[in-house]
Structure 1
Amino acid sequence: MTQQPFSRPGAIDLSALKRPAPPAPTSASSAPGAAAAPASSSAYAVHADEQNFQSLLEASMTAPVLLVFHSVSRVPESGQLARDMETLADEFEGRFLVGLVDIDAVPAIAQAMQIPSVPLVIAVVDGRPMPLFQEVAPLDQLRTALTQVVQQLTAQGITGRHQPRSAAPEGHEDEGPAVDPRYAAAQDALADGDIERAVAEYQRLVDANPADAEAAAGLVMAQLLQRTQGVDLHAARAAAAAAPDDIDAQVMVADLDMLGGHVDDAFARLVELVRRTSGDDRNRVRDHLVGLFGAVGNDDPRVLRGRQNLASALF
């Protein structure tokens, strides 16, 4: 599966969608795709059409929107990709909203987005598109790729969450999903670049409910952002290379690797540090690593490998 790194290119050009909408069909013999898109079976997915596409893009200001371009008539297996993305949208519980775009039913959207071929999955963050992947892949591989996407976005301070569509108030279906109010203050702080306030807000949530895994993960990532503020990556790597047993130097590079999306590298560095240390030093490194595991997610394959490697290093 081809996956592209995150960037922030220009916003989507919607000029192709600004022409007047065609008249509504009057019979079942009308052109294919002219009727409204069917409802999605997922609480975090929607079939895109020319009427709701703008609201989908606006929803990306709350949390990422993943646009899945497909065409069963041209690439039959792309329909399975669309169904799998619906399934994963529910599994990730609002970390992203999936917009299903059948390019045969809504060719104007494909034209506006300049879609070269299907299947294609594009992430939209803050109204700006970025390509993710353009191949059909097994569900497990998609799950792993999306876990990495969510981790990278979290490391960049993008921690919003969509509300399930079924929870939208009656008559407000087109207003876009709202932020979970429990995390709104912390997420607003991150959006404002106020990391200190974000740490305090997440800490407050964790103190109130230690079982809140989302708040705990947010706290770890906010603290990571706090520790790495103003740190020069090249200088940090040089310091770690010069002092392989310096715990502070090694932990700093691991934190920077996490922010850069190099999760396996961060885990491997700390596992090796656990292997070389003992006593309080070992406990400190182990606890830091376990915290990073929680931030990534205990079901993530990289965490499962990391836990196995940690157990090997400890015993």
Structure 2
Amino acid sequence: MTDVPLGAALRGAVDLSALRNRPAPAPAGAQPPASAPSLVMDVTDETFPQLLELSRTVPVVIDLWAEWCGPCKQLSPILERVVLELGGRLVLAKVDVDANPQLSQAFRAQSIPLVVALVGGQPVPLFTGAVPEQQVREVFAQLLQLAAQNGVTGTLDVSADGELDGEPQAEVEPPLPPLHAEAFEAIEAGDYARAIVAYEKALAENPRDDEARAGLGQVKLLDRVQNLDLAQARAAAAAAPLDPAAQFAVADLDLAGGHVEDAFGRLLDLFAALAPDERAPVRERLVELFALIGDADPRVVSARGRLASLLF
């Protein structure tokens, strides 16, 4: 199964607080990630906290692997090649799960290879298992878009062979349009309702404002899930399998946690079970979630195909 980076995934996909707050003395002979000699580095339980700071400048892709894992050996060279080709816009951190149990537990590495990212110190689920190189490129492109939406737009100075040359340099960005700036300020304050209004005004002024459209979808999801309890939501959905509101809540939580296929599957099953005159809200929610993930994503393509077969 693969997951896709989302703005909502920046909130609570995994709990890194213990690793973030612990002291991080580097082991003998090790270099801290922020001064690592290349864009591909080995990271340990002890050196991981320094990655959190680096991820405020560039997204950090984390490859959780093990020596005994065959698919890991297939995927790792692909990750390294794509990261190096991006010329300092991403960093790859390799974590041996056998040698670093705290990181393995923090990222819930139940199966490997597991690839996640850090953006501004927050985790973003990417995918599990060995995937084709083209899919890696597509996911990394989405990750860079997500990072830009969250103000992480730096680039590391690198030589032709991928070695770092100097300190990370943040790009100088043009100022945000006023309504976008208002939305970002509201999101930082946790006032999602105000952010929604700002993005809606931006779209009213310019219906082709794709950044506002993407931001609106993400902040609506954040607004819906911020006070939900997963256990309670699942219990309510189990008790009322044909209640759209109950199923929507679990689907939102699944999507926010990176379980894209689970979210789509739940809503498609609900759509199939409802009478034709009751299906419209479910279809609208599916279309909204499709837009969050992106039309080119294979999970969206598959879900759209199933929706079309149910419609006709």
TM interval, short-chain normalised: 0.5 to 0.7
Which of 201, 206, 226 is residue 204 of structure 1 equivalent to?
Answer: 201
* Corresponding residue SS for 2:279: helix
* Corresponding residue SS for 1:202: helix
Which of 136, 157, 174 is residue 142 of structure 1 equivalent to?
Answer: 136
* Separation (CA, whole Å) in 2 of partners of 1:243 and 1:76: 44
* Corresponding residue SS for 1:97: coil
Moved more, 59-68 or 221-230: 59-68
Q: Which residue is equivalent to 2:298? A: 301
* Separation (CA, whole Å) in 1 of partners of 2:261 and 2:54: 31
Tell whether the 8 Å contact from 1:199 to 1:222 is kept in structure 2 after alignment: yes
Shift of 1:83: 2.5
Tell whether the 8 Å contact from 2:2 to 2:128 is kept in structure 1 after alignment: yes
The aligned amino acid for 2:215 is: G
TM-score by length of 2: 0.60
Question: Per-residue displacement from partner, 1:83-103 (whole Å, max 9, x unpaired)?
Answer: 32355x59xxxxx9313689x
Unaligned 5+ segments in structure 1 are: 22-32, 38-45, 49-54, 70-74, 91-95, 103-113, 167-172
Q: Which residue is equivalent to 2:120? A: 126
What is the number of equivalent residue pairs in this alignment?
A: 257
Q: Which residue is equivalent to 1:291? A: 288
Tell whether the 8 Å contact from 1:254 to 1:266 is kept in structure 2 after alignment: yes
Q: Which residue is equivalent to 2:8? A: none
* Separation (CA, whole Å) in 2 of partners of 1:260 and 1:131: 8
Aligned in 2, Cα 1:149/1:260: closer, same or farther, shift over 3 Å?
farther
Q: Which residue is equivalent to 2:46? A: none
Question: Per-residue displacement from partner, 1:254-276 (whole Å, max 9, x unpaired)?
Answer: 11221222211111121122223
Shift of 1:215: 2.3
Q: Larger Cα Rg: Structure 1 or Structure 2? A: 1
Which of 147, 150, 156 is residue 160 of structure 1 equivalent to?
Answer: 150
Q: Which residue is equivalent to 1:107? A: none
Aligned in 2, Cα 1:259/1:312: closer, same or farther, shift over 3 Å?
same
Aligned in 2, Cα 1:65/1:272: closer, same or farther, shift over 3 Å?
same
Q: Which residue is equivalent to 1:192? A: 189
Q: How does 1:50-89 map to 2 (within 5 A)?
A: 60-61=55-56, 64-66=59-61, 80-86=78-84
Shift of 1:199: 1.7
Residue 225 (structure 1) aligned with residue 215 (structure 2): no
Q: Which residue is equivalent to 2:16? A: 8
Q: Which residue is equivalent to 2:159? A: none
Identity %: 40
Tell whether the 8 Å contact from 2:272 to 2:310 is kept in structure 1 after alignment: yes
Tell whether the 8 Å contact from 1:56 to 1:99 is kept in structure 2 after alignment: no
* Separation (CA, whole Å) in 2 of partners of 1:244 and 1:130: 30
Moved more, 248-257 or 60-69: 60-69
Please tell me the root mean square deviation across aligned C-alpha atoms, in Å.
Answer: 5.0
Residue 275 (structure 1) aligned with residue 275 (structure 2): no
Question: Per-residue displacement from partner, 1:47-100 (whole Å, max 9, x unpaired)?
Answer: 89xxxxxx996563366333789xxxxx9995653232355x59xxxxx93136
The aligned amino acid for 2:206 is: N
TM-score by length of 1: 0.60
Q: Which residue is equivalent to 2:244? A: 247
* Separation (CA, whole Å) in 1 of partners of 2:124 and 2:280: 40
Which of 170, 175, 178 is residue 176 of structure 1 equivalent to?
Answer: 170
Aligned in 2, Cα 1:212/1:78: closer, same or farther, shift over 3 Å?
same
Shift of 1:301: 1.0
Unaligned 5+ segments in structure 2 are: 4-12, 42-49, 65-72, 95-102, 104-112, 157-166
